[in-house]
Amino acid sequence: MNDAVTDHNSPLSLTIATRESRLALWQAEHVQSLLRARGHAIELLGMTTRGDQILDRSLSKVGGKGLFVKELEVALEQGRADLAVHSLKDMPMELPEGFELACVMEREDPRDAWVSSVCADLESLPQDAVIGTSSLRRVVLLRAALERLGRDDVKIEPLRGNLDTRLRKLDEGGYHAIVLAAAGLKRLGLESRIRKVFSPEEMLPAAGQGALGIELRQDRTEVAAALAPLAHRATWLAVAAERAVSRAMGGSCSMPLAAHASWQGEPLTSPLRLDAAWGDPDGRIALVRVHAVASVTGLDAAEALGQQVVELLRQGGATRPADPIAP
Ligand SMILES: NCc1[nH]cc(CCC(=O)O)c1CC(=O)O
C-alpha cells in the first residue's frame, strides 16, 4: 500500500471469488454487474469449498459456517481475487486477522419459506408427514410450532445440498415439505415454488438472512472505496444488531439461534426492533424468545441493541455452547 490519496472514481480491475452453486454465482454476478455499471472491470473466480463437498453430514457436525468461506479467503490472501461475495448468513461472526466485512448490500426478503406440493402449511400436513431441513434453528422453531399444534407425529429429517438439490429431493418424494430461505428462491427465479412465507412470529429468520456481504483484505482500501456505493445502511445496521447477538451467543450452525431486526417504520429514522430466539440443542429448556426496540443511528447503537437482547436471552436461560448449564 502506498500513502497516495486514492482516487475513488478511478476504474479498477477486480476479481470476485465465489462458490459455484447457482445461488452463489447469481450473487457474484449481481455484484459484478453493479460494479461494471460503475466502470470497473470485473472477473469471477469460481471455487468449490469444503462446505460444498461435504453433503452427507449435517454442517453442524463438520465445522460450521467457516467451511463455505475458507477457500475464498485463501484466494484473497494469495491475491488471486480481490473480493468475495457471501450470503451474510453463512459468514462467521469473527473473520480471520486481516479480513473485514467491507460492505453489506440491501437485503432481499429475510423470511423463511414453506415449499411443498402436497400441503399449504404446517396445519395441513398429513399424518406422519416428513419435513426436510438441516438447519438446527429451523428444526427447533418447527418443533415448537408442531408442539403448539399438538402434532407429535410429524418428523423432521435432515436435508442438505444447494437449493436445486434440496428442491429435487423434495420433488423425488422424500419429504412432504421443506423450509428454505425466501431470498435464495427469489434470486434464482424460483419464487413460484414458495407455497407460503412464514411471518417472523412463526419462524424467526437467522442473523443476516437475505443480505449479501462483501469480504476483503483490510489493507485493500481502494477496493473498499469502490464498494462504498453498493452499501445499504439500513440493512447494515439491522444485520449488525443481529450479528451482535450471534457473536455474543457463540452463534454457529451447531446452535439453534435466530436473530431478526426490522425497522418499525421508515428505515433509519424509525426505531429498530430486534427479535431473537434460542433453542437448547439438547432440548432441556423450552425455546427462549425475546425482543427489544431502540433508536439506532449508528453501528454502536446497533450493537448495543444486540447486547440488550443477549441479556434478555441469558435471563431466559440461554447459554453459550461452552457455558455449563446450571443444574
Ligand atoms: N444455509 C445456506 C444458505 N445461505 C444463504 C441462503 C439463502 C439466501 C440468504 O439467506 O441470503 C441459503 C439457503 C437457505 O437457507 O435456504
Q: Is the CB of 167 within 6 Å of ligand 1?
A: no
Q: Is 56 a catalytic residue?
A: no
Q: Is the CB of 32 within 6 Å of ligand 1?
A: no
Cα(5) to ligand 1 centroid in Å equals 38
Ligand 1: residue of 22, 23, 115 to mutate (most ligand atoms within 8 A of CB) is 23
Helix (H) or strand (E) holding 299: helix 299-315
Q: Cell numbers for 39, please give them.
A: 466502470
How far, in Å, CA of 105 to CA of 83, rounded? 14
Return phi, psi of residue 78, to 5°: -85, 0
Cα(107) to ligand 1 centroid in Å equals 12
Domain boundaries of the chain, sorted by first residue: 13-107+211-231, 112-197, 239-315
Q: Do domains 13-107+211-231 and 112-197 have the same CATH topology?
A: yes
Segment 226-259, tens digit of pLDDT: 999 999 999 999 999 999 999 999 866 667 999 9
Residues 239-315: name the CATH superfamily. Answer: Porphobilinogen deaminase, C-terminal domain (3.30.160.40)
What Å distances lie between residue 174 and 121, 128, 152, CA to CA? 17, 13, 19
Cα(100) to ligand 1 centroid in Å equals 21
The atom number, within ligand 1, closest to the CA of 210 reads 11
15 CB neighbour count, 10 Å cutoff: 19
What Å distances lie between residue 225 and 39, 102, 217, CA to CA? 14, 9, 13
Cα(109) to ligand 1 centroid in Å equals 11
CATH level 2 (architecture), domain 13-107+211-231: 3-Layer(aba) Sandwich (3.40)
The predicted complex's ipTM stands at: 0.96
Residues 112-197: name the CATH superfamily. Answer: Periplasmic binding protein-like II (3.40.190.10)
Ordered per-residue pLDDT tens for the chain, 327 residues = 444 445 556 899 999 999 999 999 999 999 999 999 999 999 999 998 776 666 555 555 555 556 677 889 999 999 999 999 999 998 999 999 999 999 999 999 999 999 999 999 999 999 999 999 989 899 999 999 999 999 999 999 999 888 999 999 999 999 999 999 999 999 999 999 999 999 999 999 999 999 999 999 999 999 999 999 999 999 999 999 999 999 999 866 667 999 999 999 999 999 999 999 998 877 667 799 999 999 999 999 999 999 999 999 999 999 886 554 444
Segment 87-109, tens digit of pLDDT: 999 899 999 999 999 999 999 99
Helices 163-171 and 22-37, packing angle to 10 deg: 140
Among the listed residues 90, 109, 112, 275, the single catalytic one is: 90
